[in-house]
Amino acid sequence: MEDIMENELVPIAMQIILNAGDARNSTASALNAVKMEDFTVAKERIKEAKEFIRLAHVSQTEVIQNETRNKAYEPCLLFAHAQDTIMTINSEVIIAEQIIDLFEIFNKKIESLKK
């Protein structure tokens, strides 16, 4: 039986999971900035999150492209988990970006009513 660490998808899966996790952390930081009404920082954190997602996608896409070129990989549950993780966190980033925009709009409207 092949040792799991010998499966070449394991380090790729770990890179995807780490980048996706960093995207989740940046997204949480963005939402915390919104709580402080710091929309500039919130948008910077979302930009970071999107870059981490992009990096995770690069790793995933390389594997998919290799498979289309007939490169065979041993099945790897960790890689399947990594793909699930990136898609879930990508959805979180997209929703958080919308939330930030909405709160910024509401904040501006509230501020204009105070004048």
> CA 43 to CA 89: how far, in whole Å?
17
CA of residue 5 relative to chain centroid, distance:
25
As a whole number, mean pLDDT of residues 81-100 equals 98
What is the model's pTM? 0.89
CA of residue 51 relative to chain centroid, distance:
8
* Segment 3-35, tens digit of pLDDT: 556 899 999 999 999 999 999 999 999 999 999
The answer to whether the CB of 81 falls within 8 A of the CB of 17 is yes
Domains within the chain, CATH numbers bracketed: 18-114 (1.20.58.80)
Nearest to 85 by CA among 52, 40, 43, 37: 52
* Six token digits for residue 80: 């399947």
